[in-house]
Amino acid sequence: MSGIVSGKLAFVTGAASGIGRATCQVLAREGATVIGGDKNKKGIQQTIDEVSKLFRNNHSSVEISVNESKSVQNALQQIIQQYKQPPSIVVNCAGITRDNFLLKLSESDFDEVIDVNLKGTFLVIQTFAKALVENGINSGSFINMASIIGKIGNMGQTNYAASKAGVELLTKSAAKEFGKFGIRCNSILPGFIRTPMTETIPDKVKIKLLSTIPLNRYGQPEGLNK
């Protein structure tokens, strides 16, 4: 433990499993008070219970649907009510896939992925950054999970690729706007990480992805956060 974020308040979306859960564990290990956010109430409570056993602090969870403005605002208000301040660290890990080949992809599956992955990231950034600025907190860090798929594309994932490319450029644009407030915005572009979300990818697509990885193995959520 380096204590690099000791005393900081951190909010992590998509915290019920996968990268979000691992992020909560790392932030807590490094001294932050962690709030896990997810629409899966049981899953986020499990994450916070595990984190609290390992790293005692005033950790908590909040239910949130990142693609719904009212839900995001309610989550922020719950956090401020409990901690008397907005979090200065926000990690956007919430995301979904609805994979299919372009010629078979439904409009609803395209919309849903863009809605959660891109719009959801936008709503969380906008809502929580506004709270930092309005409270005169001149430091903050937003970390957004994009994806290497948003750079190189992938068969059967046109909607996901588009959403994650959007997240990367949303992050860069937000960084240019927020610099004057002392707020940093960065994105991470993971490769193939084994999570409940990626387990839904067809085996033939997984095999093709594996062939492009020099280490010939998939990543784990814990390794990403090291």
- Strands (E) located in the chain: 9-13, 33-38, 60-63, 89-92, 140-145, 183-188
What are 107-126's pLDDT values in tens digits?
999 999 999 999 999 999 99
User: According to the model, what pLDDT value does residue 68 have?
Assistant: 99
User: Is 178 inside any structural domain?
Assistant: yes
From the list 81, 117, 120, 91, the residue with the least C-alpha distance to 25 is 91
What are 75-90's pLDDT values in tens digits?
999 999 999 999 999 9
Report the distance separating Cα 128 and Cα 73, nearest Å: 8
User: According to the model, what pLDDT value does residue 203 have?
Assistant: 72
User: Is 186 inside any structural domain?
Assistant: yes
Q: How many domains does the chain have?
A: 1
| Residue tagged active-site, from 128, 160, 178, 192 | 160
User: According to the model, what pLDDT value does residue 1 have?
Assistant: 62
Residue 160 a catalytic site member: yes
Residues of the chain with pLDDT under 50: none
For residue 129, the surrounding DSSP H or E stretch is helix 120-134
User: Is 1 inside any structural domain?
Assistant: no
Helix axes of 120-134 and 158-178: crossing angle, nearest 10 degrees = 10
User: Is 3 inside any structural domain?
Assistant: no
Q: What CATH number corresponds to the domain at position 24?
A: 3.40.50.720
User: According to the model, what pLDDT value does residue 202 have?
Assistant: 66
User: According to the model, what pLDDT value does residue 8 have?
Assistant: 97
From the list 28, 26, 102, 17, the residue with the least C-alpha distance to 60 is 28
User: According to the model, what pLDDT value does residue 218 have?
Assistant: 66
User: Is 2 inside any structural domain?
Assistant: no
User: Is 108 inside any structural domain?
Assistant: yes
Report the distance separating Cα 179 and Cα 158, nearest Å: 32
User: Is 54 inside any structural domain?
Assistant: yes
User: Is 185 inside any structural domain?
Assistant: yes
Domain containing residue 127: 9-224
